Structure 1
Amino acid sequence: MFVNSAAQVTNLKPAGAQPIGDALMARKRIRQEGRQRGVATLRALLLLFTGTLLVLVLAASFVTSYNFFRDYVSGQLAGHARDGATAIGLSLSNAIDARDPVASSSVIDAVFDSGRYLSISYLDHHGNEIAGRSIGLQQAEVPAWFLVVVELPLPVARAEVVRGWNRLGTVEVVSHPGRAYEDLWRISIWLVASTLILGGVGLVALYILLRRTLKPLGELEKQAKALGQRDFRQRVTVRSTRELNQVTEAMNQMTDDLGRLFEGQAKLIQHLRKVNNEDPVTGLSSRSAFDQRLKVEVESEEKAAPGVLILMHLAGFADYNQAYGRAEADRLLLQVAAVVDEFTSQHADAFAGRRTGAEFAIFVPGALPADAGVWCRELVTRVDGVYADLASPMDTAVHAGLARTQEGQGIRDLLSAADEALRVAQGSEETTCHHTDGGKDGHHNLETWRVIISQAIREQNLSLWLQPMVCENLSEPFYHQVFSRITSPEGTLKAGIFVPMAERFGLIADIDRLLIQRVLQRLQSDRNRSLAVSLGSASIASESFRNDVIAMLESAGPLASNLWIGISEQTIHHHRTAVGQLMKALERLRIPVLVDRFGVGGVPFSYLRNLRFQALRIDNSFIHDIDTHADNRFYVESVIGIAHSRGVRVFATGVETAAEYSVLCGLGIDGAMGYHLGRPYAADNHSTGD
């Protein structure tokens, strides 16, 4: 059901480390995005087209109406002139002697003063004026430019003056266009105002209609972008036309189908992880999974931390199984596992597993032998109570053996020491614990550790060590993982040694504050490098720490985007709200976040649906001997496939051999880190050795 996504991997690079080809592709993508931003929207195109059509219709209506009124007033002017010419001609022909200039002038003056005329002339046969009157156009109450633009025609009306059969002359009359210009001016103002009002109202109504009609397209764009980011929660609820409603329903259905597909894949991967790494009866780690993780904790050069291994055994379990049956025996083991699981939840990074039958193994990192002895006695007492209640009236006992880690000690030596202590404890018929070294604290006691860590914080005695995250297709590391170290009277202490103690004393937030401060200073001096840090669970759970870190990152400006923040999967599981708040702030600052120690603890895979991580970093325990461990290889391949389908990169840690790295590259890993690929080195001297 899972597809190897090796061919689909897209690798990112730290600033300044991009190959030339990738840089050209980036510039090409930027140009394409720029052209895309320049393309007009569908709403703008429809608004432009329909609006232009509306404006053209209104403009055509305006021109048509204007020309009609202009022709109308021009006709009125011509008719008025003809009427005036006819009346004057008749008056001169019948009322007076038209051959008398004085009498003719009096008639023309009377008509001119009583009417709206521009000029009246009485001409003889030779075209000489006998009498006449005229005025200019200044009397029209319209703008001067309007007279020039409109320029109405001024037709000349003529009438003959006769006496009997004798033709005495001709009367020429031109009507005054002032009133016509004023009427045409008022009509033009009304036409322009009505056109603008109708056009404006029409365009606004068109804009509102298009905005409402095309609103689902904006929601569809958001949904498409969410799908591109593998977020299947976005839904389009806006209703519009039938066609757009059908499109939105289809998109919502596709989103639901993709979401269900992702959930199915996540559940299947989680089930496979349980089958391969969990005990089917108790739900604790299986023997092989526990030993693999213990080997990473004990033998890894960078992660190796002091701690105590506890082997616990239920005495007489075989008799209980025979007396009560397998179902009751499984029920007993399940209740004991619940007590063990509660015990590990009370101690940071502790983990447990079922080894064989009624034997359980628990590793508590950072625990001092004396404290572990007290905790072990409390644990076996609680387990004995559960055992005795279910096995009554049988006699019961719970035995435990403790062994602490030693420098240079392997997992076999540690298991042998714990097993030896368990055998000694089994020599007693009573519930008891036994420690191989009698519970001595070893090199440092509790108070000494507190002084060392507190002094390091107070004096800011923290050094940075870097280890490259290597990408097969890149010439430069994807980023460098930062490890912190402090100096004690006995020498340099690695984070794997003092961090568990700092968490126990409640000082891990101060350590992480100092770490972020130093890393940001490092980025200031080396701007072309990306760095990654992992934050403690207690730090992320602290609101004051989150506020301080965000303030430091904001003050760092754009440079902070070169920093990767790692959050362990267990922290995500136990502090989901705090992690969500931190991630929102980091997303606003464009700071990438990765899931650290992915796969540890059986945390449900579904958090990838609600939280936008940029990468996963698979825990060392799944990488160790992956070239010979088919179950882990299949699990990692499945995780890579589903992570890539959501746009999340996958990194691996703890790569110790060429065979492991070759298998990971074949599975499509985005980056890997380990002693085979590069050892940690001090940030200040750029050495490549430890």
Structure 2
Amino acid sequence: MARRLMKDATRRQQGETTLQGLLLLFGGSLLTVTLVAAFVTSYGYFREYVADQLSAHAQDGATATGLSLSNAIDGTDPVAAASLIDAVFDSGRYLVVEYLGHEGEVIAGRRMPLAASKAPDWFVTLAHLPLPVAEAEVVRGWSRLGKVRVVSHPGRAYDDLWRITLGLVLAAGVIAVLGLLGLYLLLRRALGPLKALESQARALGRRDFRKRVRVRSTRELNRVTEAMNQMADDLGQLFEGQGKLIQHLRKVNNEDSVTGLASRSAFDQRLKVEVESEEKSAPGVLVMIQLASFIDYNQTFGREQGDRLLNEIASGIRAFVDQHAESFAGRRTGAEFAVFVPGASAADVRIWAEELVRELDAIYTGQAAQLEVLVHAGLAVATPGAGARSLLAAADEALRAAQQYDRSCSLLADTGVENHHNTDTWRSIITQAVRQNKLSLWLQPMVHDVDQELVHYQVFSRIDTPEGSLKAGLFVPMAERLGLVADIDRMLIAQALEYLDRHPGRRLAVSLGISSVADVAFQEDLLTMLARAGSTAGRLWVGIAEATISHHRKVVTSLVRKLVRLKVPVLVDRFGVGGVPFSYLKRLPFRAVRLDNSFIHDIDRHDENRFWLESVIGIAHSRGVKVYATGVETAAEYSVLCKLGIDGAMGYHLGRPYAADT
């Protein structure tokens, strides 16, 4: 409802007059009124002037004719009087020239109709000049012979008045055009900063605090632009400070202070989610790594050098994790580390672990100099139905067995579980599923508030094999390692768009693999599919894992901006485990973040995660970013999330995944 009201408000605003248009309208109206008033005044003055001239001309004609009849010509002679009247009338400047007797009878006279040579008839009718009648007495000595009546011809007066009127109209038009043009240029320059301010405000709404207004104008607008620029600087610094706060809280709660790997509690919690969550459970292999004789190393070289060694060991482990998708590592205690590799077979991980042990042994030996040091590792396979505690115990037992050897080595715990598919088998399974389009969509609802109002559906993929339906948590990590996840994501996007076409009222959210985002060909295919989908693409949320942002910043930046131009909402997936500073939300227009489920598990009993989540929600909401949670398994967890103001949550407590075609 709120979104609909905002759209209506925006639509109404787009229909309103701009400030520049309003000022132009007011200024133009004022100028028009002024010019019209000036025109009417000038026209009235010239009309009165022409009328007075016409009256004076008639009087002069009457006086001259009367004097002529009184003195130069015998006024008693009708023939002579008619000759004089004809001579005066033939000048064409009079409508009426008459010589009247005592009784008003016409002794001699001429008349002609009114006509103008240049002025149009409508103007003559509209102007309607008065026709003044002038009279003069005709006398002979003391005798009054009669009188002369003269009416001037107004034709020339109308022509003069028409010419003057045309000049006034032309002058008013030129003044109006020049005045409006000058007013437009003045307003354009004076109000120039407003467009820049609007652009800056929209940039602030997108959390882009880098835009500055450079246009200078009036003193008042300059003050406003300076205030906006200062506000952008302050907001940018505030956002940066808030991002650093979140990053600091995340490190304090979830990272080991020495190595930067996950702390023991954070690793155990994420491991518990990975192996015990129904959607993600098994297979996977846990690797426990121990540096032998580390106490002697500390005593010999000092604690500072010991911390430096741990950092180098952590760098080697981190490089191993980067090479294996979905893997994660942590520091347990002292010189003991743990790595979990989901979706891999024990045979493969054993080979990888041997290589890792050799690399770490080389680092340790190079630093230890004369000391005799070793690196041991214990491996345990995650089994369906077994908990994280059992897995840790099995790996620890294998580690203790490996420590009985006087050389660096790794041992696999004997859990009685047969090895899962090897790499070649996985390649065959995934390739065949892609070729035969065996991918199916499963939907899990994302809900909001205590009433569990539907926000959208999260899409999970499964592939059909002779062994049955395999969950994404099983095959996606292997697809990442084998470079096949882009093919799976293409099928996923295509099926999701088809589903949205069949269900116009629904919204879906999909998560892209790390390799997919980094694949230029996949990006082009993704953008093409979304562009062809038109408005349907606006109902598909695209999730990009935070770890992807860490590894492929430039690629992610380009892709996110292209998706936003297509009006596709983008969110940060698995937020909190990527180790990326929160400041990327300042640069990229993400609409939401989806918290990793390791932060949600037991949040009702985990004060540190609850405080961190509360901070994330507050800062994200201040930036217009929504916060979603995953992995909600209990009513207590969801109750805490609702109190914290979460925008949406999903998990088995709120709704189990179901096949989209059912």
The correspondence for 2:505, drawn from 528, 550, 556, is: 528
Task: Considering Cα pairs closer than 8 Å and 6+ residues apart, tell me whether 1 or 2 has the greater RCO.
Answer: 1
Are 2:616 and 1:618 aligned? no
Are 2:188 and 1:211 aligned? yes
Label 1:194 to 1:681 Cα distance change in 2 as closer, same or farther (>3 A). same
Moved more, 470-479 or 614-623: 470-479
The correspondence for 2:549, drawn from 563, 569, 572, is: 572
Are 2:242 and 1:265 aligned? yes
Report the Cα distance in structure 2 between the residues aligned to 1:636 and 1:28, rounded to whole angstroms: 30
Correspondences of 1:190-201 after superposition (within 5 Å): 190-201=167-178
Label 1:677 to 1:306 Cα distance change in 2 as closer, same or farther (>3 A). same
Q: How far apart are 1:50 and its partner, in Å? A: 2.2
Aligned twin of 2:326: 349
Moved more, 193-202 or 425-434: 425-434
Counterpart amino acid of residue 383 in structure 1: L
Label 1:28 to 1:320 Cα distance change in 2 as closer, same or farther (>3 A). closer
Checking the alignment, whether the CA contact within 8 Å between 2:561 and 2:589 is kept in structure 1 is: no
Checking the alignment, whether the CA contact within 8 Å between 2:138 and 2:145 is kept in structure 1 is: yes
Q: How far apart are 1:31 and its partner, in Å? A: 5.4
Aligned twin of 1:287: 264
Which consecutive unaligned segments of at least 5 residues does structure 2 have?
A: none
Checking the alignment, whether the CA contact within 8 Å between 1:223 and 1:236 is kept in structure 2 is: yes
Correspondences of 1:81-480 after superposition (within 5 Å): 81-114=58-91, 116-436=93-413, 442-474=419-451, 476-480=453-457
Q: Deviations over 1:100-130 (max 9, x none)?
A: 2211111111122235222211111111111
Label 1:70 to 1:582 Cα distance change in 2 as closer, same or farther (>3 A). same
Q: How far apart are 1:600 and its partner, in Å? A: 0.4
Checking the alignment, whether the CA contact within 8 Å between 2:343 and 2:478 is kept in structure 1 is: yes
Aligned length: 662
Report the Cα distance in structure 2 between the residues aligned to 1:475 and 1:435, rounded to whole angstroms: 45
Q: How far apart are 1:593 and its partner, in Å? A: 1.5
Report the Cα distance in structure 2 between the residues aligned to 1:611 and 1:452, rounded to whole angstroms: 37
Label 1:383 to 1:350 Cα distance change in 2 as closer, same or farther (>3 A). same
Aligned twin of 1:649: 626
Checking the alignment, whether the CA contact within 8 Å between 1:368 and 1:441 is kept in structure 2 is: no
Checking the alignment, whether the CA contact within 8 Å between 1:161 and 1:169 is kept in structure 2 is: yes
CA RMSD, Structure 1 to Structure 2 (Å) = 2.0
Label 1:317 to 1:525 Cα distance change in 2 as closer, same or farther (>3 A). same
Label 1:476 to 1:385 Cα distance change in 2 as closer, same or farther (>3 A). same
Label 1:28 to 1:288 Cα distance change in 2 as closer, same or farther (>3 A). closer
Q: How far apart are 1:582 and its partner, in Å? A: 2.4
SS at 1:627 equivalent: helix
Report the Cα distance in structure 1 between the residues aligned to 2:63 and 2:101, rounded to whole angstroms: 17
SS at 2:355 equivalent: helix
Q: How far apart are 1:624 and its partner, in Å? A: 0.8
SS at 1:80 equivalent: helix
Label 1:278 to 1:28 Cα distance change in 2 as closer, same or farther (>3 A). closer
Counterpart amino acid of residue 335 in structure 1: E
Report the Cα distance in structure 1 between the residues aligned to 2:512 and 2:526, rounded to whole angstroms: 11
Aligned twin of 1:69: 46
Label 1:670 to 1:240 Cα distance change in 2 as closer, same or farther (>3 A). same
Counterpart amino acid of residue 169 in structure 2: V
Label 1:31 to 1:479 Cα distance change in 2 as closer, same or farther (>3 A). closer
Checking the alignment, whether the CA contact within 8 Å between 1:654 and 1:675 is kept in structure 2 is: yes
The correspondence for 1:58, drawn from 35, 46, 52, is: 35
Label 1:305 to 1:214 Cα distance change in 2 as closer, same or farther (>3 A). farther
Moved more, 366-375 or 95-104: 366-375
Counterpart amino acid of residue 297 in structure 2: Y
Aligned twin of 2:466: 489
Q: Deviations over 1:468-491 (max 9, x none)?
A: 112125554211111111111111
Q: How far apart are 1:205 and its partner, in Å? A: 0.8
Label 1:57 to 1:678 Cα distance change in 2 as closer, same or farther (>3 A). same
Counterpart amino acid of residue 85 in structure 1: A
Q: How far apart are 1:596 and its partner, in Å? A: 0.8
Checking the alignment, whether the CA contact within 8 Å between 2:347 and 2:419 is kept in structure 1 is: no
Label 1:30 to 1:649 Cα distance change in 2 as closer, same or farther (>3 A). closer
Checking the alignment, whether the CA contact within 8 Å between 1:159 and 1:171 is kept in structure 2 is: yes
Are 2:575 and 1:585 aligned? no
Report the Cα distance in structure 1 between the residues aligned to 2:300 and 2:286, rounded to whole angstroms: 32
Aligned twin of 1:607: 584
Aligned twin of 1:671: 648
The correspondence for 1:554, drawn from 531, 534, 540, is: 531
Report the Cα distance in structure 2 between the residues aligned to 1:576 and 1:168, rounded to whole angstroms: 117
Report the Cα distance in structure 1 between the residues aligned to 2:103 and 2:66, rounded to whole angstroms: 17
Moved more, 341-350 or 187-196: 341-350
Label 1:436 to 1:616 Cα distance change in 2 as closer, same or farther (>3 A). same
Q: How far apart are 1:183 and its partner, in Å? A: 1.1
SS at 1:170 equivalent: strand
Q: How far apart are 1:228 and its partner, in Å? A: 4.2
Checking the alignment, whether the CA contact within 8 Å between 1:370 and 1:439 is kept in structure 2 is: no
Query: TM-score, normalization: structure 1?
Result: 0.92
Aligned twin of 2:488: 511
Q: How far apart are 1:457 and its partner, in Å? A: 0.7
Checking the alignment, whether the CA contact within 8 Å between 1:486 and 1:494 is kept in structure 2 is: yes
Q: How far apart are 1:28 and its partner, in Å? A: 5.6
Checking the alignment, whether the CA contact within 8 Å between 1:399 and 1:422 is kept in structure 2 is: yes
Q: How far apart are 1:44 and its partner, in Å? A: 2.7
Are 2:511 and 1:542 aligned? no
SS at 2:319 equivalent: helix
Query: TM-score, normalization: structure 2?
Result: 0.96
Report the Cα distance in structure 2 between the residues aligned to 1:242 and 1:439, rounded to whole angstroms: 82
Label 1:667 to 1:442 Cα distance change in 2 as closer, same or farther (>3 A). same
Q: Deviations over 1:348-394 (max 9, x none)?
A: 12211111111111112233323322222222222112211211111
Moved more, 371-380 or 533-542: 371-380
Label 1:458 to 1:328 Cα distance change in 2 as closer, same or farther (>3 A). same
SS at 1:565 equivalent: strand
Q: How far apart are 1:551 and its partner, in Å? A: 2.0
Report the Cα distance in structure 2 between the residues aligned to 1:330 and 1:390, rounded to whole angstroms: 12
Q: How far apart are 1:218 and its partner, in Å? A: 2.7
Checking the alignment, whether the CA contact within 8 Å between 2:207 and 2:585 is kept in structure 1 is: no
Q: Deviations over 1:266-316 (max 9, x none)?
A: 111211111111111111111111111111111111122422221111111
SS at 1:333 equivalent: helix
Label 1:496 to 1:359 Cα distance change in 2 as closer, same or farther (>3 A). same
Report the Cα distance in structure 2 between the residues aligned to 1:573 and 1:600, rounded to whole angstroms: 10
Label 1:441 to 1:678 Cα distance change in 2 as closer, same or farther (>3 A). same
Counterpart amino acid of residue 375 in structure 2: V
Checking the alignment, whether the CA contact within 8 Å between 2:58 and 2:133 is kept in structure 1 is: yes
Report the Cα distance in structure 2 between the residues aligned to 1:367 and 1:378, rounded to whole angstroms: 16
Report the Cα distance in structure 2 between the residues aligned to 1:118 and 1:361, rounded to whole angstroms: 122
Q: Deviations over 1:499-546 (max 9, x none)?
A: 111112211111111111111221222222211111111111122212
Which consecutive unaligned segments of at least 5 residues does structure 1 have?
A: 1-21, 686-690
Q: Deviations over 1:236-277 (max 9, x none)?
A: 222111111112212221222222122112111211111111
Q: Deviations over 1:409-464 (max 9, x none)?
A: 32122222222222222122112222235999823222221111111111111111
Counterpart amino acid of residue 572 in structure 2: V
Report the Cα distance in structure 2 between the residues aligned to 1:533 and 1:118, rounded to whole angstroms: 97
Report the Cα distance in structure 2 between the residues aligned to 1:440 and 1:295, rounded to whole angstroms: 19
Aligned twin of 2:25: 48
SS at 1:281 equivalent: coil
